[in-house]
Chains A and B, each alone.
Chain A
Amino acid sequence: MTDTSPSAAEIASRVAAALLGGYGFVWGFASLGIVLGVAAGLPYEEAQTLLFLLAFLLLLAAFCWAFVAHSVARVWAVLAGGGAAMTGAAWLVQRTLL
């Protein structure tokens, strides 16, 4: 492990991507899932409960993946980018439901 040990900067970036990126991704996933669930006819509470049940399993997967993936840039792109995209989409869908 010695000669391929990641730099302190890469470790910091991975940890930040796993925690902040993972959280942002799950936030986007949960909010988009809730509004789509409501759009599909679920009561808000039921949609939120369903997404809460899935959210932490997804967070676990995103968190682990952030340390396993080859490219840390890709981890950031998928987690932070995906999270932002889903959050934006959720906001737009909510506007159509109010």
Chain B
Amino acid sequence: MFQSLRLSMAWLHTWFGLVLGYVLMICFFFGSLSVFDREIDRWAIPETRFAPQTMPSYDRMLAAIFPRIEPEAEELDAARARVGGPLPAELPVMNWSAYTTHRDPVLALFAEFAVTNNPNDPYDHVHGHVTVDPRSGAVLPHDRLKIGSEFFYPMHYSLHLHWKNLGYWIVGLAALAMLAALVSGVVIHRKLFAELFTFRPAKRTGRSVLDLHNLTGVVALPFHFVFALSGLTIFAAIYLPVGSTMLEPLAMKHAAIAAEARGLAFLPSDEKAPLASVDAMVAEAKRRWAARGMPGEVGFLHVNHVGDRNSHVSIYRAGSDRVALVGQAVHFDGPSGRVLHEEPPQAPASAINDFLTGLHLQHFEHWLLRWLYVLGGLTGCACIATGFLFFVEKRKRRHAAAGRSGARVVDALGVTAVTGMVIAALAILVANRLLPADLPHRGGWEEAAFWGAWLLAFGHAAWRTAALREARIAPAWREQCWAIAALAVLAVVLNAATTGDHLLHTVAAGQWPVAGVDLALLASAALAALAARRLRRRERAVADPAGVAGTTDTATTEAAHA
């Protein structure tokens, strides 16, 4: 587009990085929190603060709980709209499944129900789910929002924008922009090795911010590249739905061939039959895994065509001990309990894909690596945030002189996307501890607190960036840092006050999920307070220009960033 490769790449880097950087902040920050989603769930749902459990007995416990699952009310409403009238009184169950990981004290059970009177879609169905305490079989209250795994985690890949999968597409576009920003960033810079050791915090803001942008971009370059790429491949079927559109005839033909080869009936027979002992099937699956040199626990258990002669039970291994997210599934005939099919080792492309998926979703048990993931994700946040800051720093004097508002708008959105997002995440935790336990739609109110706080932060950012008109540092950054510090401490205090699980107790008792969240909150508060004090000092230094350090040495390197 421009005369040189570097200028074209710099344009791409600046503008796609800016526009989609706001989305990338969300992906990286909530992705980082998702690394400890189960632990955040424990913090948010005090009655689930006990040790992780393995899959309980199907025959003695789950068999009695599954039939109690009801379809979700909102899904029934949506189904009525699809059908254009009332639904049958009883929706037949299609399948049941149970899912757990090595970090889950509670067990999630799912059911799918057939919507039998939709003339346009013979496979129309709705879902239901419950969460159970596997120690007793007690079903937990339904509207307890799992803030980690049901709110922060989906936030990082769907933005909770479900209309036509819009959120997935925006995140996918942001992932492409991330990959392109990495490629173009490397082209712009060339001196990758030197960037690793260059950070001059005492230089003026533009220089030190650019140093930090380059350093964080380079130091975690492979991490950022692999996560953006694997994020795309994990949802490839959404982004490139060839198999459900243009190539559907071929895909369906091969799906039928594959199902037949594995002996798994694609459709029910409409002839009833009871289920054999699932515990015996689990024992057989474990025996087969051990025989293959990979003993393990059950991660996912699926009963298809429930109650039908064609029912089959698929038992998948939990991937706690390896990166690749493989199930090593063993499939059993439901009525007889005999083995229908044992999944063979993966073909090469599938094996690579399972490795990439597992690397991203990290079901494996490795606490040090888990923390490194958080560090990698937050490094990405720092890289994106410093990108915003550099963009503003470079233009604010010019825009202020010309009376343009571009730098101010970018700064206000930057405040909203950086500190405002953290405020929103803290607000949902505070709301979680403040709302009455028996409040109807409690989870909905918690989510409202999240979005409301974010909106307030945006309003505050728009108001308190007026200083950009005089090319000064916006006080919005400092004030929101103080809000973060206050909310984080408040969340820790509220947790102690409402549950009695204060840090002395949780650390002494080794309740690390809860203690870890509290400690992370306190660390965030300390960091935010430190940042606020430093920002104060900078604001004063800018107001009194005599105190400003180094000014002119960087014009040439920055030119490439224009």
A complexed with B: yes
In the complex, are the beta carbons of A67 and B11 less than 8 A apart?
A: yes
Indicate if the CB atoms of A64 and B183 lie closer than 8 Å. yes
Residue of B nearest to A31 (CB): B242
> Which A residue sits closest to B252, measured CB to CB?
A44
> Do A44 and B246 have beta carbons less than 8 Å apart?
no
The chain A residues found within 8 Å of chain B, CB to CB, are 1, 4, 6, 10-11, 14, 19, 26-27, 30-31, 34-35, 38, 42-50, 52-53, 55-57, 59-60, 63-64, 67-68, 72, 87, 90-91, 94, 97-98
The answer, yes or no, to whether B367 is at the interface (CB within 8 Å) is: no
A54 nearest in chain B by CB position = B349
Give chain B nearest CB distance to A22 CB in angstroms. 9
Q: Is the interface of B mostly helix, strand, loop or mixed?
A: helix
Known interface pairs A27-B240, A34-B247, A94-B249; A67-B176 also in contact (CB < 8 Å): no
Asked if B254 contacts A91 (CB within 8 A), the reply is no
Report the nearest A residue to B231, measured CB to CB.
Answer: A56
User: A43 contacts B240, CB within 8 Å?
Assistant: no
Question: Can you list 11 contacts pairing A with B, beta carbon distance less than 8 Å?
Answer: A4-B3, A6-B1, A31-B246, A46-B349, A46-B350, A56-B236, A60-B176, A64-B12, A68-B5, A91-B246, A94-B247
Question: Chain B nearest CB: distance from A46 CB in Å?
Answer: 5
- Interface majority SS on A: helix, strand, loop or mixed? helix
Within the complex, what minimum Cβ distance (angstroms) separates A23 from chain B? 9
**Total A-B residue pairs with C-beta atoms closer than 8 Å?**
106
**Cβ–Cβ contact A53 & B233, under 8 A:** yes
**Do residues A6 and B2 form an inter-chain contact, with CB atoms below 8 A?**
yes
Please tell me which one of the listed residues A35, A50, A67 contacts residue B12 in the complex, with CB atoms under 8 A apart: A67
From the candidates A6, A19, A98, name the one contacting B249 in the complex (CB within 8 A): A98
Q: Is the CB of B253 within 8 A of A98?
A: yes
| A13: min CB distance to chain B, Å | 10
Residue ID in chain B nearest A87 by CB atoms: B246
Is the CB–CB distance between A52 and B233 below 8 Å? yes
Per-residue A-contact encoding for B3-33, CB less than 8 Å = 1, 0 else: 1010111011000000000000000000000
- Complex alpha-carbon distance, A97 and B251, angstroms: 11
* B480 sits at the interface (CB 8 A): no
Give the Cβ gap from B33 to chain A, nearest Cβ, in Å.
Answer: 25
A21 to B: closest C-beta gap in Å = 13
Chain B nearest CB, measured from A35 CB (Å): 7
Out of A56, A63, A91, name the residue touching B229 (CB < 8 Å). Answer: A56
